[in-house]
Each structure stands twice: as structure tokens, then as C-alpha cells.
């Protein structure tokens, strides 16, 4: 015979079937329409009633059917976001700030990442669009022909952030990375450095190749050689930075300074120099684009041109909310560009 407590545990076991809206309404002692209203537009329901319904939802483990809600209301509160990577600092900073703002305003973010595999960019985008989002945000994308072809067939606002803008997006939010590298090169030249190299990643992107052009232009304007560069189409890593500076110093032991396209590369360069007992900046100056708070804590602290991706995200969220809530001009009549300036921060490394 089974012990009594076995029977008690069996009776308390939850139903494994899907909990419905009607189940929540019955548990809370209200009508189904009231529950639906509390979940979709909580501001229209009293605090006491909303708390009662939320307790029922939590107790029963109810998961709202978003697809059904979209069909019923004709409106989606989902924002699709296509990013190149979940690992790099720029993508993480942008995504975190975007989610914080949108989630506070009852929008959900659906994320897709192609991990810098450009052939997958269109495939991931198509998957994101299957969720019938209210808007699309593309961050740091290459915007291949297949992606642009897909965008022509959607009727939602599309914001292009830190990516190429060879398409009539609703809004382009960008920063001039090429100008930032040109500034960094001239800054090093003014400090007396002449043999200046460049290490860059993700060179399949035209925006990243603009960095190389900015470095080249600054050196040539001073009648100096622009030969010491090492680039890759792949993601920026510390390991690439270590390998690249090793190769560059083998080519030109007299190298005086190096500009890195990403903070991760610059950190790899610094660590390799420390391993080789190369003093920074006395023996080699190191600067980078896309610096973050990490630049403040590394030793020596890293001179950088910092781009505020969190601020870009907040502006993106603000504009999306205004379009989707109807408080700003119809997005269909807009093709706009906003340029966020980079911020130069001189530190110990150069």
C-alpha cells in the first residue's frame, strides 16, 4: 500500500495542459474580457483588479498567446532586432539599453544574430519577420542584396543603426568611424609618432573599411607611408590583436604606434606587448576606436574614440515609440539620418 503522503502529492500535482485565458478569468473571479484588457492595456484597469489578475497569471503559469493578440487587435508590440553578434561590446551595449527602454513601455524585443556570417544575415532576418513585428531595428549590418530585397516587401518602420545606408531606411543612426580614425592618426602625428600601423576586423563592412581609408588619408597627407596594416573580415578578438601586432612588429620593428578598429583588438595588442616587455606608450603607442569603460580600467589606460551606443539605443527606442503610438509624423513619410559624434578620450596608452 502506498503511504498517505504519496496520494497527497499526486493530488497537488499541477495540470500539465495549457492554461487558457478562461482559466485565469475563473481563478480571478472576473470575465475573460477583463483579463484580456488587463494584459494588453494594464493602464485601463484598476490597481486592485490588475494585482488580482497578475496573481492568477503567476499562480497558474499562464503564457499569453501573442499571435492571437496580434490577430485580435491588429497591433503588435514586438520589435525585431537584427545584430551581428551577442558577444561584442557595441552590440551588447546597444541591445541592453534598447531593451531597458522598450520593456518599460510594454514592448518586447525579439533578437536575431548572424554572428558575422553574412550569408546567414538574410535567413535570420526572414525568421525575425515571421513574428509579425511592429518595427525592425538593424544594428551594424552589412545589408546584403538579399536583405535589401526582403526589406522592400515589408511595411513597417526600419531603423538602421551603425550600418551601411545604401537603402532608403526610415531612419539611419550612425557615427563617422572613418573620421574618428583620421582624427586618431592626426593626434598621434601631432605627438611626434610617424610609423603608425592599423589593425582592423570585419573588413567586409564598408563602414569598417572607412576606418582604413581615414588612417591612410591622414598618413598620406603628411607624406608618410601607409603600408603597415593588417585586417581580417572576421570578428574582432584579443587573439587576433596579439597575432596581428606580432606580425606587424616582425615586419617593422621600428613601429611607433598602432590604431585598432576595436577595443578587443587593442587589449590583445597591449597584452602581447606586456608579454614582450614592450613599454606602452614609451616604446609603442596604442589607441582604438569603439572604446568602452574597459579603457579606463586596463593598465595602461587606453586612449580611444568612444561611440555612445547606449545613447543610440535610447534614441532608437524613443523614435519607435513615437511612431508606433502615433505621436509623431507617420514613419512612411520619413527618410532621416542622425549622426552621433564620437568622443575622444586621451589616456595613458598614447
Confidence of residue 155 (pLDDT cuts 50, 70, 90): confident
Whether CATH 3.40.50.2300 fits 177-307: yes
Same fold, 75-175+310-341 and 177-307: yes
Can you tell me the mean pLDDT for 209-227? 92
Can you tell me the mean pLDDT for 43-50? 86
What are the angstrom distances between the C-alpha of 221 and each of 85, 92, 189, 207, 317?
A: 36, 36, 11, 21, 41
Fold of 75-175+310-341: Rossmann fold (3.40.50)
Can you tell me the mean pLDDT for 159-173? 82
Confidence of residue 330 (pLDDT cuts 50, 70, 90): low
Confidence of residue 71 (pLDDT cuts 50, 70, 90): very low
User: Which of 91-105, 133-147, 199-213 is predicted most confidently?
Assistant: 91-105
Confidence of residue 90 (pLDDT cuts 50, 70, 90): confident
Instruction: Give the Cα separation of 86 and 74 in Å (integer).
Output: 31
The secondary structure element, H or E, covering residue 260 is strand 257-260
Torsion (CA) 21, 76, 319, 210 in degrees, nearest 10: 120
Residue 338 predicted with pLDDT over 80: yes
Instruction: Give the Cα separation of 299 and 349 in Å (integer).
Output: 8
Query: What are the residue ranges spanned by the domains of the chain?
Result: 21-72, 75-175+310-341, 177-307
Selected from 1.10.580.10, 2.120.10.30, 3.40.50.10440, 1.10.260.40, the CATH number assigned to the domain covering 21-72 reads 1.10.260.40
Q: How confident is the model at residue 66, as a pLDDT?
A: 55
Burial of 218 (0-12, 13-18, 19+ CB in 10 A): buried
Say which residues have a Cβ less than 8 Å from residue 281's Cβ, sequence separation at least 6.
257, 300, 348, 349, 350
Q: How confident is the model at residue 237, as a pLDDT?
A: 93
Instruction: Give residue-wise pLDDT tens across range 248-301.
Output: 999 999 999 999 999 999 999 999 999 999 999 999 999 999 888 888 899 999
Q: Could you report how far apart the first and last alpha carbons of the chain are, in Å?
A: 80
Instruction: Give residue-wise pLDDT tens across range 24-34.
Output: 899 989 988 88
CB atoms within 10 A of CB 289: 27
CB-facing half-sphere around the CA of 165: CA atoms within 13 A: 17
User: Which of 78-92, 93-107, 181-195, 310-324 is predicted most confidently?
Assistant: 181-195
Q: How confident is the model at residue 5, as a pLDDT?
A: 44
Amino acid at each position: 500500500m502506498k503511504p498517505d503522503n504519496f496520494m497527497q502529492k499526486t493530488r497537488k500535482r499541477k495540470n500539465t495542459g495549457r492554461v487558457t485565458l478562461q482559466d485565469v478569468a475563473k481563478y480571478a473571479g472576473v470575465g475573460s474580457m477583463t483579463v484580456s484588457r488587463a494584459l494588453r492595456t494594464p493602464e485601463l484597469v484598476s490597481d486592485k483588479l490588475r494585482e488580482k489578475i497578475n496573481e492568477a497569471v503567476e499562480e497558474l503559469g499562464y503564457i499569453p498567446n501573442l499571435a492571437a493578440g496580434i490577430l485580435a487587435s491588429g497591433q503588435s508590440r514586438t520589435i525585431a532586432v537584427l545584430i551581428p553578434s551577442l558577444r561584442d561590446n557595441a552590440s551588447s551595449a546597444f541591445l541592453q539599453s534598447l531593451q531597458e527602454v522598450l520593456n518599460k513601455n510594454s514592448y518586447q524585443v525579439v533578437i536575431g544574430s548572424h554572428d558575422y556570417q553574412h550569408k546567414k544575415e538574410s535567413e535570420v532576418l526572414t525568421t525575425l519577420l515571421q513574428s509579425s513585428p511592429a518595427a525592425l531595428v538593424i544594428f551594424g549590418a552589412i545589408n546584403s542584396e538579399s536583405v535589401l530585397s526582403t526589406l522592400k516587401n515589408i511595411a513597417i518602420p526600419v531603423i538602421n543603426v551603425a550600418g551601411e545606408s545604401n537603402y532608403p531606411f526610415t531612419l539611419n543612426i550612425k557615427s563617422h568611424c572613418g573620421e574618428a580614425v583620421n582624427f586618431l592618426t592626426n593626434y598621434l602625428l601631432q605627438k611626434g609618432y610617424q610609423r603608425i600601423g592599423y589593425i582592423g576586423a570585419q573588413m567586409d563592412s564598408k563602414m569598417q573599411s572607412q576606418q582604413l581609408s581615414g588612417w591612410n588619408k591622414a598618413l598620406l597627407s603628411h607624406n608618410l607611408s601607409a603600408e603597415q596594416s593588417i585586417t581580417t573580415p572576421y570578428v574582432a578578438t584579443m587573439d587576433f590583436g596579439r597575432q596581428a601586432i606580432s606580425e606587424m612588429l616582425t615586419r617593422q620593428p621600428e613601429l611607433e604606434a598602432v590604431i585598432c578598429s576595436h577595443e578587443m583588438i587593442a587589449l590583445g595588442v597591449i597584452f602581447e606587448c606586456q608579454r614582450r616587455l614592450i613599454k606602452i606608450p614609451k616604446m609603442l603607442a596604442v589607441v582604438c576606436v569603439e572604446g568602452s569603460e574597459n579603457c579606463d580600467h586596463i593598465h595602461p589606460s587606453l586612449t580611444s574614440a568612444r561611440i555612445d551606443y547606449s545613447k543610440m539605443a535610447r534614441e532608437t527606442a524613443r523614435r519607435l515609440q513615437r511612431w508606433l503610438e502615433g505621436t509623431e509624423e507617420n514613419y512612411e513619410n520619413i527618410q532621416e539620418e542622425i549622426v552621433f559624434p564620437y568622443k575622444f578620450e586621451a589616456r595613458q596608452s598614447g
